[in-house]
Amino acid sequence: MPSPVQSAVRAAIEAVVEFVAAYNRRRLPKAESPYLVGIHTPMQSELTLQDLAVAGSIPAGLRGRYLKMGANPVSPDPTAHHWFLGDGMVHGIAIRDGRVLWYRNRWILSRLAGAALGRAAAPGPRRGRNDTVNTNVADIGGRAFALVEAGSFPVELSDTLEDQCYNPFDGTLDGSFTGHPHRDPLTGEHHAIAYDGSVWDAVRHVVVSAAGKVVRDVPVAVRHGPCIHDCAFTARFAVVLDLPVTFSMRAVLDGHLFPFRWNPAHRARVGLLPRHGDGAGIVWCDVEPCFVFHVAMPLMAKTVR
């Protein structure tokens, strides 16, 4: 826990950095972002469509919801906008008895999105000032959560998407989470490697139980603040992708909103962290410099004896 003096010094430094970044952002070349035009043009409204037409047929046994989400900024700055940034919007369809009952799309009501839309922000505890959630939706503990990496707490979504609430897994999540947790089909647990843009010397192995509570949060020492978008696990290990895309203070000071850049000075390696051990037990394996966005994992089967 930082002392009051340390907190005050850090707040002062952050204020100076934000002032310089905002000044330099105004000096960036004025250009339309490719992530705001064409197929990337943000939706401008929330829709509710009932009993959608179906081309072909849907198996009668297929029942439930299909949910997805991504960045859909309410009022983006085209000069500094990046594909991964902006207010989140969740889309969903409900399927039952061969029918599509509804389609809905709803903004995640962060403080900024709520203010821009003239609506109240979603309730629930916040982690820091940036409460944007815009990356993924996952079923964790039988509930739907909107997720983001490196920052905000998750947002729990109601069955109809009409209600949402910031929820750090019922108060059991202390730090950041990930946009891409992976579920162990044998235990029902979700595994995540979480990082934080303001913490450069550690990432964390977070495990959420089948009941939706954090049961493990173990730090792993790293350097340079690596961006870890995805992870993997085996029966014995959590897999940590420590690769050379890292936090760049230079990018921040230059006014860019996405603060990660390729860093040739960062050692490319994959870590094997024992699923029930601490960070000191990790085994690092050097790899060729690369970056991994997503991991494909085979299903794990129970051993038959």
Q: Please classify residue 126 by burial: count the beta carbons closer than 10 Å to its beta carbon, then call 0-12 exposed, 13-18 middle and 19+ buried.
A: middle
As a whole number, mean pLDDT of residues 74-91 equals 88
5 pLDDT above the threshold of 90: no
CA torsion through residues 24, 200, 291, 266, sign: positive
Please tell me the predicted confidence (pLDDT) of residue 297: 77
Same-domain status, 77 and 185: no
Q: Looking at the structure, tell me whether residues 163 and 277 fall in a common domain.
A: no
* In contact, 203 and 185? CB cutoff 8 Å: no
* pLDDT at residue 299, as a whole number: 63
Domain match, 54 and 158 both: yes
- Distance set, CA 83 to CA 41, 67, 164, 293 (Å): 11, 20, 24, 14
Tally of domains in the chain: 3
The mean per-residue pLDDT over the stretch 86-106 comes to 96
Whether residue 150 sits in one domain with residue 91: yes
- Clarify whether residues 13 and 57 are in a common domain: no
Of 130, 145, 167, the position where a domain reaches its end is 167
203 lies in which domain range?
Answer: 176-305
Calpha distance 32→35 (Å, rounded): 9
Are 241 and 294 a contacting pair, CB within 8 Å?
A: no
Task: Tell me: do 43 and 138 sit in the same domain.
Answer: yes
Residues 115 and 149 in one domain: yes
Question: Is the domain of 275 the same as that of 191?
Answer: yes
- Average pLDDT of the segment spanning 219-243: 96
Which of 167, 190, 220 finishes a domain? 167
Position 11 scores a pLDDT of 74
Domain boundary among 101, 133, 167: 167
- 300 has a pLDDT exceeding 60: no
Could you tell me if 93 and 19 lie in one domain? no
Dist CA 275 CA 262 (whole Å): 29
Does 69 share its domain with 128?
yes
The two three-digit tokens of residue 173, written as one number: 């999540």
Q: What is the pLDDT of residues 152-199, one digit of tens each?
A: 999 999 999 999 999 999 999 999 999 999 999 999 999 999 999 889
Does residue 5 sit in the same domain as residue 35? no
Examine the domain organization and report whether 39 and 153 are in the same domain. Answer: yes
